[in-house]
Structure 1
């Protein structure tokens, strides 16, 4: 049977991709950020996951105001890096796992989640930056990836409770897949940040670290945080953290932390990173 062995949470700040691509990841500014991922890179090499279900949000690369799915799952064979205005990142093509993706899509829809199924799309920094942070500079990504895109760009985004429940449903679907696969679930985005307006540059380290605390152990308090609290305490883009809750919901009742990293600043954003294992 397929099994979810770990969960990873990480910010997906586009500047991290720029730093990686320009070989600036060990300079004075970026060095402390990337150093917080060194443990994870070594751990991933040892873990050798077969598939990553990567939860992220598109930034007007695959979707635009013509259509905005709340939850979309990629069931295609491969996904090319998107051109976000300055050319595609020179990183490997992302290869999917259609059999597992379709199985999950079926399980989620029968579990009463209205999924949008995507067979062809380009993927932007929301997906490729986490892969670079975990695997570094590689000729091919060492895992198959199932993209799971969440709308956190246009109102209304899904609630944290709905995201957590989606993670629980993903876990049920993976557990019913007959092939022996080592599966990880990654939740990306965040942490506190606002990119525009009078509060641009907002970082709330106290709230961020309380959120990190809430991802660990057997509490489910994070699923009940209302949208207005994310907006008030973490800025307009802090709502991205509901995507971490999909990963957390997939981990089961209790988690243990294997690694934790928090750093301020990266551009005008806080960087958060967690590696969790189910501890049920």
Structure 2
């Protein structure tokens, strides 16, 4: 059967993708960040997941305010890189796993999660930057990808409790899929940052470090965190971190293997954590 063996939480800052694409990773500003990614790249090369479920938020590439699904899963055989402000990234086409995607959708919907099924969906930096963080610049991505887009842009966003429960339901769905697959779940977004208003540029390193710690030390605190706490303590865009809780819920007895944190990256705190799952 298929099995979720690991999880990764990572920022998906668009400037990280631009640094990769423009060959800027060795520059003094970027070197400390990418130096910390080397361990993660060596780890995933050894781990070799067959499929990565990437939990991310769309930035008006696939969806607009005219249509805002709370949770949407891509079931297509492939997903094209989308315009993300810098222009479409020159990265490989993202290859899907339709059989597992449809199985997860069926399992979730029959488990009373109202999932939007996306038969066609472009993917922007929210999804492709995490792939670049983990895999650098391959000619083809070494894994199949299942995109799971989460609304963290238009209020009301899903609560951490719902996201964690969704992760648990995804684990149940994957483990009932009758094919021998190794699956890694990536929760992306954040960490603390705010892009507008009087607090534009806000970063809270203490909040970010505490969040990384409590993914294993006190996950219940994170699961119960409300929207207002994210807004106050991590900035208006810090609520993206609820997507890490979907990743966390998909793991069994998670154990921290590696972490990396660096500030500033563009105007954010950038974090990465690798968790093992029994």
Do Structure 1 and Structure 2 share a fold, with TM-score over 0.5?
A: yes
Q: Kindly state the Cα deviation for residue 101 of structure 1 after the two structures are TM-superposed.
A: 0.3
CA distance in 2, matches of 1:212, 1:4: 20
Judged with a 3 Å threshold, the aligned counterparts in structure 2 of structure 1 residues 132 and 62 are, in CA distance, closer, same or farther, namely: same
Q: Please report the TM-score for the alignment, with normalisation by the length of structure 2.
A: 0.98
Instruction: Please name the residue that 1:62 is paired with.
Output: 62
CA distance in 2, matches of 1:84, 1:43: 28
Instruction: Please name the residue that 2:262 is paired with.
Output: 263
Question: Residue 217 of structure 1 contacts residue 255 of structure 1 at CA under 8 Å; is this kept in 2?
Answer: no
SS at 1:54 equivalent: strand
Question: Residue 83 of structure 1 contacts residue 89 of structure 1 at CA under 8 Å; is this kept in 2?
Answer: yes
Instruction: Please name the residue that 2:35 is paired with.
Output: 35
Alignment map for 1:25-174 (pairs within 5 Å): 25-174=25-174
SS at 1:36 equivalent: helix
Q: Kindly state the Cα deviation for residue 117 of structure 1 after the two structures are TM-superposed.
A: 0.2
Question: Residue 81 of structure 1 contacts residue 93 of structure 1 at CA under 8 Å; is this kept in 2?
Answer: yes
Question: Residue 44 of structure 2 contacts residue 134 of structure 2 at CA under 8 Å; is this kept in 1?
Answer: yes
CA distance in 2, matches of 1:130, 1:178: 28
SS at 2:34 equivalent: helix
Instruction: Please name the residue that 2:275 is paired with.
Output: 276
Query: Which segments of 5 or more consecutive residues in structure 1 lack a partner in the other structure?
Result: none
Judged with a 3 Å threshold, the aligned counterparts in structure 2 of structure 1 residues 197 and 187 are, in CA distance, closer, same or farther, namely: same
Instruction: Please name the residue that 2:9 is paired with.
Output: 9
CA distance in 2, matches of 1:88, 1:82: 5
Question: Residue 218 of structure 1 contacts residue 255 of structure 1 at CA under 8 Å; is this kept in 2?
Answer: no
CA distance in 1, matches of 2:16, 2:84: 15
The CA RMSD over aligned residues, in Å, is 0.9
Q: Kindly state the Cα deviation for residue 201 of structure 1 after the two structures are TM-superposed.
A: 0.8
Q: Kindly state the Cα deviation for residue 132 of structure 1 after the two structures are TM-superposed.
A: 0.4
Question: Residue 217 of structure 1 contacts residue 256 of structure 1 at CA under 8 Å; is this kept in 2?
Answer: no
Question: Residue 164 of structure 2 contacts residue 223 of structure 2 at CA under 8 Å; is this kept in 1?
Answer: yes
Q: Kindly state the Cα deviation for residue 86 of structure 1 after the two structures are TM-superposed.
A: 3.9
SS at 1:220 equivalent: helix
Instruction: Please name the residue that 2:193 is paired with.
Output: 193
CA distance in 2, matches of 1:51, 1:85: 28
Q: Please report the TM-score for the alignment, with normalisation by the length of structure 1.
A: 0.98
Query: Which segments of 5 or more consecutive residues in structure 2 lack a partner in the other structure?
Result: none
Q: Deviations over 1:10-59 (max 9, x none)?
A: 00000000000000011100011111110010111111110000000000
Question: Residue 194 of structure 1 contacts residue 200 of structure 1 at CA under 8 Å; is this kept in 2?
Answer: yes
SS at 2:92 equivalent: coil
Instruction: Please name the residue that 1:209 is paired with.
Output: 209
Question: Residue 53 of structure 2 contacts residue 146 of structure 2 at CA under 8 Å; is this kept in 1?
Answer: yes
Q: Kindly state the Cα deviation for residue 216 of structure 1 after the two structures are TM-superposed.
A: 1.5
Q: Kindly state the Cα deviation for residue 219 of structure 1 after the two structures are TM-superposed.
A: 3.8
Question: Residue 18 of structure 2 contacts residue 86 of structure 2 at CA under 8 Å; is this kept in 1?
Answer: no
Q: Kindly state the Cα deviation for residue 265 of structure 1 after the two structures are TM-superposed.
A: 0.2
